[in-house]
Amino acid sequence: MKLAADRILSLLLLGLAAFVAVQAWQLQVPFSYDPLGPKAVPLLLAGLLAVLAIVLFVRPGAGGDWPTGALLLRLVFTMAVLGLYAALFINLGFLVTTALVSVVIAWLFGATPVKAIVGGLLLALGSYLLFTYGLGISLPTGSWIEPLLGSN
């Protein structure tokens, strides 16, 4: 099992090398005075990567331990939360999304629900004040709030 991780990695790297090589080969190069052109370096790198990947396949190292079960689920969930954070960042605005995400992450890292909610709200508010008033960064306020503001 432990050897397998590096073997899988080497196959992935070989695939990547092949992909890079094919992509680079298909580049349409206009005439230029540059004898090497844009193809050479990617092709060279693809070749080097392929050689290194084969060496890795022949001499794999210890594979490290991989997350399974509940931990894997948590990792995927965290990435999904961060993805949602990005997706809603502009429409819902910085304050709302940051508060929600901070509460969820704090809870994932073992805070009690009360602590998570209070901590998350304070983090969102504190960082909003710090960024907008302290550092002068303009953050999205959220499109839902604009009609409310736009009425006056």
Instruction: Compute the distance between CA of residue 86 and CA of residue 104 in angstroms, rounded to an integer.
Output: 15
Tell me the C-alpha distance between 10 and 49, whole Å.
10
Interaction between residue 117 and other proteins (CB under 8 A): no
Report if residue 25 touches other proteins, rule: CB under 8 A.
Answer: no
Cβ at position 152, least distance to other proteins in Å: 25
Q: Does residue 45 touch other proteins according to CB under 8 A?
A: yes
Q: Which is nearer to other proteins, 108 or 145 (CB)?
A: 108
DSSP state of 132: I
How far is residue 84's CA from residue 81's CA, in Å, rounded to a whole number?
A: 5
> Using the rule CB under 8 A, is 119 a contact of other proteins?
yes
Tell me if 13 contacts other proteins by CB under 8 A: yes
Q: What's the token pair of residue 56?
A: 């890795």
At residue 10, φ and ψ (nearest 5 deg) are -65, -35
User: Does 137 interact with other proteins (rule: CB under 8 A)?
Assistant: yes
| 57: contact with other proteins by CB under 8 A | no
- Establish if 118 lies at the interface with other proteins (CB under 8 A): no
Going from the C-alpha of 33 to that of each of 8, 36, 125, 131, the distances in angstroms are 42, 9, 57, 49
Site for other proteins in 61-90 (CB under 8 A): 61-64, 66-67, 70-71, 74-75, 78-79, 82-83, 85-86, 89-90
Instruction: For other proteins, give the closer residue by CB, 115 or 146.
Output: 115
121 binds other proteins (CB under 8 A): no
Residue type, 20: V
> x/- site string to other proteins, residues 92 to 111, per CB under 8 A?
--x---x--xx--xxxxxxx
Do 46 and 20 meet the contact criterion of CB atoms below 8 Å apart? yes
